[in-house]
């Protein structure tokens, strides 16, 4: 028989005769449960001491711990550099499923029964389980997505229910994305610095509780009804998205907590066992690999278990489909603070029967020593590929600037092609192209439209004298900073946007589209809009603010990606072998001959023809030809002559504002004109 699990059932479990609470603390000398009056969360009506076992787990039963009970913990312990015990403070249970605020700035947990016991009906819905090669991630903010959508009733806008409304679902399914990745929805608070400035933490990367959905994203009616109604609305959102065939992935922030640095607020972990939950140096100071004041210590089993239990709760009871792990290198740091892909937490995620069955996406870096780990996560994780982001931005924007300023782009097309084909120089053959989560923009940084309109960040509205946000944007304003009426500059910007969108959606790997980029949303040059909960960050829905032509282009590209499996291989091919679900890739220059070393590396030779043929395993055979031309002058290409190819049908090109649904047929060897700075996609006909 397996050994008993000493950390089982942490948090509150309710029953008809009350409930039981279990809390882990290695160094505490006493813990007391307080249960508070339903109408006054400052008045404790019941107290019970917790008893410690040999594993540091403290437990108590109380008849007052019924569903809906508000409760907290008073914890005492030794004095010392690493300790912060204060029995006068009422602390939040780290496993609390629901929360209620107190006027003094502290929080109470709310005891919740299992969701199904509360009468929630999943109506037979199941997880869509979309294969990675069919996945298109859409990164969105719960509040910002629907706040301005007048097709949604006003009380629902900016809420979980607003995201689940028919108008939202019709838009998302009509766009063609498969997987909605939500910025943090774990309960969070704004940093004390922002509160003093009168600004909010809009993005939510400041977690207060890892088991509770953020209440302000629920409707006012649900908030008034209480924590159980907030959770029910969140689950209802997941159910509705699943009914529409859409997955839900959560951006989760396990690397640090809202308790900030040592002088920050004490909500939970610091008062329960500061020395055991956080990393410290020999002098008792926090080791901060997150840049946020503190770092959870994943060299210890209780911190690892906290993460796994949280993920399992959301994936099982609340049925979410996956997780994007913020600053995930921190989650893989061992007892000595060094990152290792064999870290017990990362391996446990993969091995867990619930968590390991979800999509796992790592942001593969943090700000600590050796923190950049792109390509170094274990098989089973996809990773945000910052190398892809930087190369594609530089190819279409930085190189264009250099060519205009110096007469040469400075680099050839080889590194672009490597990223287009799945970044095999970053991810191993065993992991394959789907280990690469491709993105050009994300919530953090310029929007796609701003990437083509601003050379520098414009963050004065953030209150930090424009010091915050990255200066390494790889952007290009095309000659004028910001807004302009110059038709030629506006046309050039739209062309660059189309090229970047096409590159993203036609690349091997898993693409991530940032909400609003599909129609040209701008943040007026702010590349760090984390503290703006306003129309600056909310999605626009009025016709006057949407570029309908760009939206149609995005929809067209997403449809083409879905229809052509050669674009989305599952595996890397091996030379001379036939690998199932890989794409056979052949590369030709403008003359239709195989690329030479000079063709790959010469800044003057920036025209490429990419012929990709699928190796069928689950879908019919498919072959495409993508022509990429990255000079500002028109050129001619000779379409490749290749065994089995009898002709090419033009599917789309990036030269015009309007997407073309039906194109001309061309023969192998035929010479065709390719407009400046453009991409042309063909379907190749013939036999395998």
Which are the catalytic amino acids?
A: 326, 363
In order of 379, 521, 614, 617, the CA distances from 579 in angstroms are: 18, 41, 10, 9
Cα 443 to Cα 452: distance, rounded to the nearest angstrom: 16
Any alpha helices (H) in 383-537, and if so which ranges? 386-393, 399-406, 414-420, 448-451, 487-505
In order of 17, 305, 503, 568, 610, the CA distances from 400 in angstroms are: 71, 49, 16, 28, 21
Q: Taking a C-beta distance cutoff of 8 angstroms, is the pair 567, 610 a contact?
A: no
Structure tokens of 221?
């009616």
Contacts 24+ apart (CB under 8 A), 350-357: 350/378, 350/380, 350/381, 352/308, 352/311, 352/312, 354/311, 354/312, 354/315, 354/316, 355/308, 355/311, 355/312, 355/315, 355/323, 356/380, 357/315
Based on the number of CB atoms within 10 Å of its own CB, is 560 exposed (0-12), middle (13-18) or buried (19 or more)? buried
Selection from 179, 149, 177 nearest residue 165 by Cα: 149
Going through 253-377 in order, the beta strands assigned E by DSSP cover: 322-325, 359-362
**In what helix (H) or strand (E) does residue 509 lie, and over which residues does it extend?**
none
Is 193 in a helix, a strand, or coil? helix
Q: Taking a C-beta distance cutoff of 8 angstroms, is the pair 374, 425 a contact?
A: no
The phi, psi pair for 533, rounded to 5°, reads: -105, 80
Selection from 424, 419, 359 nearest residue 387 by Cα: 419
Is 448 in a helix, a strand, or coil? helix
Q: In what order do the strands lie in the sheet with 665-666?
A: 583-588, 607-614, 623-629, 678-686, 645-653, 665-666
Cα 403 to Cα 631: distance, rounded to the nearest angstrom: 9
Structure tokens of 270?
């610091």
Is 648 in a helix, a strand, or coil? strand
Cα 533 to Cα 468: distance, rounded to the nearest angstrom: 17
Based on the number of CB atoms within 10 Å of its own CB, is 559 exposed (0-12), middle (13-18) or buried (19 or more)? middle
Any alpha helices (H) in 290-343, and if so which ranges? 301-312
Structure tokens of 321?
């489909």
List the Cα angle 556/559/562 in 5-degree steps: 155
Q: How large is the C-alpha radius of gyration of the chain?
A: 27
Selection from 405, 446, 675, 448 nearest residue 550 by Cα: 448
Q: What is the DSSP string of 614-667?
A: E--SSS---EEEEEEE-SSS-EEEEPPP-TTEEEEEEEEESSSSSPPSS--EE-
Cα 494 to Cα 322: distance, rounded to the nearest angstrom: 33
Based on the number of CB atoms within 10 Å of its own CB, is 282 exposed (0-12), middle (13-18) or buried (19 or more)? exposed
Q: What is the torsion angle, in degrees rounded to the nearest 10, for the CA atoms of residue 504, residue 505, residue 511 and residue 515?
A: 90
Selection from 21, 23, 11, 29 nearest residue 86 by Cα: 29
Cα 640 to Cα 646: distance, rounded to the nearest angstrom: 10
Q: Which residue has the tokens 């309710």?
A: 14
Q: How far is CA 488 from the centre of its chain?
A: 35
Cα 641 to Cα 647: distance, rounded to the nearest angstrom: 9
Q: Taking a C-beta distance cutoff of 8 angstroms, is the pair 513, 437 a contact?
A: no
């Amino acid at each position: 028989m397996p050994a008993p699990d000493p950390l089982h059932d942490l948090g509150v479990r309710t029953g008809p005769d009350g409930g039981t609470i279990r809390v882990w603390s290695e160094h505490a000398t006493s813990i007391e449960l307080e249960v508070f009056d339903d109408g006054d969360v400052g008045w404790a009506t019941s107290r019970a001491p917790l008893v410690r076992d040999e594993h540091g787990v403290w437990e108590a039963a109380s008849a007052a711990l019924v569903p809906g009970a508000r409760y907290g913990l008073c914890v005492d312990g030794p004095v010392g550099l690493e300790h912060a015990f204060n029995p006068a403070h009422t602390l939040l249970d780290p496993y609390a499923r629901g929360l209620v605020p107190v006027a003094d700035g502290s929080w109470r947990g709310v005891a919740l029964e299992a969701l199904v016991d509360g009468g929630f009906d999943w109506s037979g819905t199941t997880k869509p389980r979309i294969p990675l090669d069919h996945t298109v991630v859409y990164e969105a903010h719960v509040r910002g997505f629907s706040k301005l959508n007048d097709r949604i009733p006003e009380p629902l806008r900016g809420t979980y229910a607003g995201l689940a409304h028919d108008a939202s679902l019709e838009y998302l399914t009509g766009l063609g994305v498969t997987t909605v990745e939500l910025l943090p929805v774990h309960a969070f608070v704004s940093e004390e610095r922002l509160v003093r400035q009168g600004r909010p933490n809009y993005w939510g990367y400041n977690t207060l509780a890892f088991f509770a959905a953020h209440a302000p994203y629920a409707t006012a009616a649900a908030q008034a009804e209480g924590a159980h109604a907030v959770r029910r609305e969140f689950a209802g959102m997941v159910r509705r998205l699943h009914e529409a065939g859409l997955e839900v992935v959560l951006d989760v922030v396990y690397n640090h907590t809202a308790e900030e640095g040592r002088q920050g607020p004490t909500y939970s972990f610091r008062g329960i066992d500061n020395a055991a939950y956080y990393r410290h140096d020999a002098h008792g100071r926090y080791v901060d690999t997150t840049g946020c004041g503190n770092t959870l210590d994943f060299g210890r089993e209780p911190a690892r278990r906290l993460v796994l239990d949280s993920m399992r709760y959301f994936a099982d009871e609340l049925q979410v489909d996956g997780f994007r792990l913020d600053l995930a290198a921190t989650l893989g740091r061992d007892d000595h603070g060094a990152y290792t892909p064999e870290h017990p937490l990362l391996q446990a995620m993969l091995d867990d029967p619930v968590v390991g069955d979800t999509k796992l996406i790592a942001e593969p870096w943090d700000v600590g020593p050796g923190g950049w780990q792109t390509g170094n996560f274990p098989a089973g994780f996809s990773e945000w590929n910052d190398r892809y982001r930087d190369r594609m931005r530089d190819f279409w924007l930085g190189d264009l600037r250099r060519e205009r300023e110096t007469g040469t782009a400075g680099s050839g097309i080889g590194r672009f092609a490597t990223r287009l084909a799945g970044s095999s120089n970053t991810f191993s053959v065993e992991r394959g192209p789907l280990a690469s989560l491709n993105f050009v923009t994300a919530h953090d940084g310029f929007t796609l439209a701003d990437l083509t309109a601003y050379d520098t960040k414009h963050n004065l509205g953030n209150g930090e004298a424009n010091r915050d946000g990255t200066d390494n944007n790889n952007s290009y304003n095309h000659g004028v900073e910001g807004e302009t009426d110059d038709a030629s500059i506006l046309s050039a910007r739209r062309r660059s946007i189309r090229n970047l969108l096409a590159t993203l959606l036609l690349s091997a790997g898993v693409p991530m589209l940032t909400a609003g980029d599909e129609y040209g949303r701008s943040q007026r040059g702010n590349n760090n809009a984390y503290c703006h909960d306003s129309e600056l960050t909310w999605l626009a829905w009025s016709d006057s603010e949407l570029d309908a032509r760009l939206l149609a282009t995005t929809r067209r590209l997403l449809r083409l990606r879905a229809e052509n499996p050669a674009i989305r291989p599952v595996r890397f091919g091996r030379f001379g072998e036939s690998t199932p679900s890989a794409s056979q890739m052949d590369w030709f220059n403008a003359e239709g001959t195989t690329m030479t070393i000079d063709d790959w590396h010469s800044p003057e030779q920036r025209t490429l023809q990419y012929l990709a043929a699928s190796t069928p395993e689950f879908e019919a055979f498919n072959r495409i030809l993508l022509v990429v031309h990255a000079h500002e002058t028109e050129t001619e290409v000779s379409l490749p002559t290749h065994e089995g190819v009898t002709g090419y049908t033009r599917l789309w090109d990036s030269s015009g504002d309007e997407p073309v649904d039906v194109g001309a047929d061309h023969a192998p060897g035929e010479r065709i004109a390719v407009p400046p700075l453009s991409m042309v996609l063909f379907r190749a006909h013939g036999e395998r």
